Structure 1
Amino acid sequence: MANLYIIISAFVSAVILGRIIIPNILIISLRKRLFDVPDERKVHKRPIPRLGGVTFFPVILFSLCVFTAVRLMTGHGPAETSTTDLVCEFLFLTGGLTLLYIVGIADDLIGVRYRKKFLVQIISAAMFPLSGLYINNFYGLFGIYLIPAEVGIPLTMLLVVFITNAINLIDGIDGLASGLSMVALLVFGVLFVHFRMWSYAMLAFVTVGVIIPFFSYNVFGSADLGRKIFMGDTGSLTLGYILSFFVIKYCMYEPDMLLTMKTSPVLVSFSVLMVPCLDVIRVVLRRARNKRSLFMPDKTHIHHKFLAMGFSPRRALVTIQLMSACFCAFTIVAILYMNNTLVFVIDVVVWTLLNLWFDHVINRKAKNGE
């Protein structure tokens, strides 16, 4: 129970620190006129500060360091894995986050070319295999089980870059990226608590803690009163990278740890991030089919579709969150009774049919001149 109390304390400290820091970032942004200026692709109609994500990494690092030290001083950890492995994983994670934090701030302030961002993301993705983390098992998905390192390591790096960008690209309406990330982090946090992997659970709940005050300002704050803020690339890259770390770590579970739960780590990880991940794949395939640049922004993401169907940003947020929760719940339950590959295929087919239906509704509204 002591570890749970420490995790709760770390979570509360992250909430408090985020609540203290974000208003000060708002003040600085307003005084220095550091805004996200609206254009034809964006939903907001007036300049909004976009440095909310600057809060994430420092608060996460502070809370994690302080309360890990508390665990050590009180004799409650870390004991869930080899101390050397744990330290290496978290140090390499911190190194990758530092690189993404720097490039994210630069992008939010002055803009960074996507080639440079990709290079930094690839270097950051390499941190996980260097620490010993990589996808080494598909647990029966497509009939694949063990994966050799020469396949798993590049696959891991590709997955990290993909997830990081998926969270970055889904950040199109208030609360969407942060809301989806919070749900995924809570799922991972509960799973790590179940397996008594306290350090990883602490990181998950601390990250949720720092998102909560940001979410309140982002979704419920008033732009007219100067109380609204965006996370910017700094925040979305931070969240995407941490989520990719959890995906890789969870999929690296040892076989004896899986005996307590009949599940597929690969599919569970996929289910909590299914909406942003499949949305990116759909958008990229659409751009490739239309012979457009894969990296030029457009208005074809899932949240743009909901807005085109007549949803308000708030209704679109709630609906997409519910859709993500339904996919997650179905996948987690279905893998207990069905073949992993079949569950994956059902998820993809349902997602595809939903998007075809959304397109039909949008086209019908356009023809009717609504």
Structure 2
Amino acid sequence: MLLSWGMMPYILLISYKKRLFDPVDARKLHQHIVPRLGGVAFAPIQCCILVIALVCIYKLNIGELDLQVASWIILPSMALMVCGLVILFMIGIGDDLIGVSYKWKFVAQIMVGCLLPLSGVWINDLYGLGFIIGIPAWIGMPLTVFVVVLIINAINLIDGLDGLCSGVVSIGLLVLGGLFASYGAWLHAIFAFITIGVIIPFFYFNVFGTSRRRRRIFMGDTGSMTLGFSIAFLVVSFAMNNHFIKPFADGAIVVAFSTLIIPIMDVARVMFVRWRTGRPIFKPDRNHLHHKLLRAGLSRHSALIFILVITLVFCLFNIVTVRYISNNIVVLMDLIFWIAFHWLFNRLEKRQMIVKLQLFINL
């Protein structure tokens, strides 16, 4: 956290001197020039501190942690995860500075997605979800790559409101880190808490910084893609039925993906609406959840707090209910709540538009 806090002013200084700003257009919420290189601080600090933590744990025996597993089992997945962060870091910087075609970004995301199955981390059990238990490697490995790419893009697409992407990811990391620590999977817990520490200073500059004082910054694709891959690695690791990482738990896959239920379901809804209305699926618009909340009359900070609270509620609700209810019923309840939530806000949005129209007519 201290390293990230120290890097942010230097990133701001370089961004203003070289005029590396996020473009202002009709789809963006900001109306002033704002640097977009805040995510440059994430991956280098994550990798450096993780390596230091590994050295301290395995060589110096600091803390005398009971890792419960041999190092050769966990270290390959950690090493390839770091490689994936480096790849996305380079692609993200190129995109934030000069622009990179979405095709090349998609290829890079598939490459880093393949690193998880190569390291032995892949979704091998659905725990009865859809009445499916164990799944073979030829299905689970491609499914894992698809899930990783989906998570990276879902995290990237919700980065449209100050503090939203970093806030949602922080809540997910806090939940996963606590769960990993409770199971004794200390390496995964340490990585989750390292990432939270990196995000906290950025969240402050992003939400509470001001453009006039040159203290406001965006994370850009560099930050959103590396954060997406970081939490994807932890989600797949938690969802995997592998006693080397953690003990078996019936609701592991539901609990793991509940940390990302807001961005994933929001992307699915937006894609469905675009397909139903005949618009290009990958063309940006203003139909994401935070756009709907703003149109319904909420302020930016109120919309941010509302989404973060809903994210935390989903996580806590699923963690508790999977102990007593079937995974399929829990997922069904999540879907019902999500649909009812959007139905309610669609009505509020229409009422808000009617009020504005009446005010305009009166004027």
* TM-score strictly above 0.5: yes
Amino acid at match of 1:100: L
Is 1:38–1:45's contact at 8 Å kept on the other side of the alignment? Answer: yes
The offset of 1:51, in angstroms, is 0.3
Matches of 2:90 and 2:193 in 1, distance apart? 24
The offset of 1:73, in angstroms, is 2.5
| 1:150-185, Cα deviation, whole Å (9 max, x unpaired) | 110010000000011111001110100000100100
1:169 aligns with 2:157: yes
The offset of 1:279, in angstroms, is 0.2
In the other structure, the counterpart of 1:182 is 170
In the other structure, the counterpart of 1:240 is 228
In the other structure, the counterpart of 1:220 is 208
In the other structure, the counterpart of 1:12 is none
Is 1:71–1:78's contact at 8 Å kept on the other side of the alignment? Answer: no
Matches of 2:346 and 2:89 in 1, distance apart? 36
In the other structure, the counterpart of 2:272 is 285
Secondary structure at the residue paired with 1:50? Answer: coil
Is 1:114–1:295's contact at 8 Å kept on the other side of the alignment? Answer: no
1:158 aligns with 2:153: no
In the other structure, the counterpart of 1:30 is 16
In the other structure, the counterpart of 1:8 is none
The offset of 1:291, in angstroms, is 2.0
Identity of aligned residues (%): 42
Secondary structure at the residue paired with 2:356? Answer: coil
Is 1:72–1:78's contact at 8 Å kept on the other side of the alignment? Answer: no
Matches of 1:40 and 1:52 in 2, distance apart? 22
The offset of 1:366, in angstroms, is 1.8
Is 1:136–1:149's contact at 8 Å kept on the other side of the alignment? Answer: yes
* Count of residue pairs the alignment pairs up: 354
After TM superposition, the structure 1 stretch with the greater mean CA deviation from structure 2, 69-78 or 98-107, is 69-78
Matches of 1:35 and 1:182 in 2, distance apart? 25
The offset of 1:67, in angstroms, is 2.0
Is 2:156–2:221's contact at 8 Å kept on the other side of the alignment? Answer: yes
Map 1:81-100; keep pairs closer than 5 Å: 81-100=69-88
Matches of 1:153 and 1:363 in 2, distance apart? 44
Matches of 2:142 and 2:70 in 1, distance apart? 25
1:356 aligns with 2:343: yes
1:335 aligns with 2:329: no
CA RMSD of aligned residues (A): 1.5
Is 2:125–2:241's contact at 8 Å kept on the other side of the alignment? Answer: no
Is 1:52–1:231's contact at 8 Å kept on the other side of the alignment? Answer: yes
The offset of 1:78, in angstroms, is 8.0
User: What is the TM-score of this pair, normalised by structure 2?
Assistant: 0.94
The offset of 1:71, in angstroms, is 1.4
Is 1:78–1:199's contact at 8 Å kept on the other side of the alignment? Answer: no
1:199 aligns with 2:187: yes
* Aligned mate of 1:71, from 29, 35, 57: 57
The offset of 1:368, in angstroms, is 3.0
Matches of 2:90 and 2:67 in 1, distance apart? 32
Is 1:263–1:332's contact at 8 Å kept on the other side of the alignment? Answer: no
| 1:343-370, Cα deviation, whole Å (9 max, x unpaired) | 1011011101111221221122223335
Matches of 1:141 and 1:364 in 2, distance apart? 38
Amino acid at match of 1:252: M
In the other structure, the counterpart of 2:44 is 58
- Structure 2: gaps (5+ residues): 358-363
- Structure 1: gaps (5+ residues): 1-14
Secondary structure at the residue paired with 1:53? Answer: helix
The offset of 1:254, in angstroms, is 2.9
Matches of 1:81 and 1:251 in 2, distance apart? 18
Is 1:160–1:241's contact at 8 Å kept on the other side of the alignment? Answer: yes
Map 1:4-19; keep pairs closer than 5 Å: 15-19=1-5
Matches of 2:59 and 2:356 in 1, distance apart? 67
* Aligned mate of 1:309, from 280, 293, 296: 296
Secondary structure at the residue paired with 2:25? Answer: coil
After TM superposition, the structure 1 stretch with the greater mean CA deviation from structure 2, 53-62 or 262-271, is 262-271
The offset of 1:263, in angstroms, is 4.4
In the other structure, the counterpart of 2:113 is 125
Amino acid at match of 1:34: L
In the other structure, the counterpart of 1:10 is none
In the other structure, the counterpart of 2:132 is 144
| 1:258-285, Cα deviation, whole Å (9 max, x unpaired) | 45xx541110012111101100000111
Matches of 1:318 and 1:16 in 2, distance apart? 25
The offset of 1:186, in angstroms, is 0.7
The offset of 1:195, in angstroms, is 1.5
Amino acid at match of 1:31: K
Is 2:259–2:315's contact at 8 Å kept on the other side of the alignment? Answer: yes
Matches of 2:70 and 2:15 in 1, distance apart? 43
In the other structure, the counterpart of 2:282 is 295
The offset of 1:77, in angstroms, is 6.2
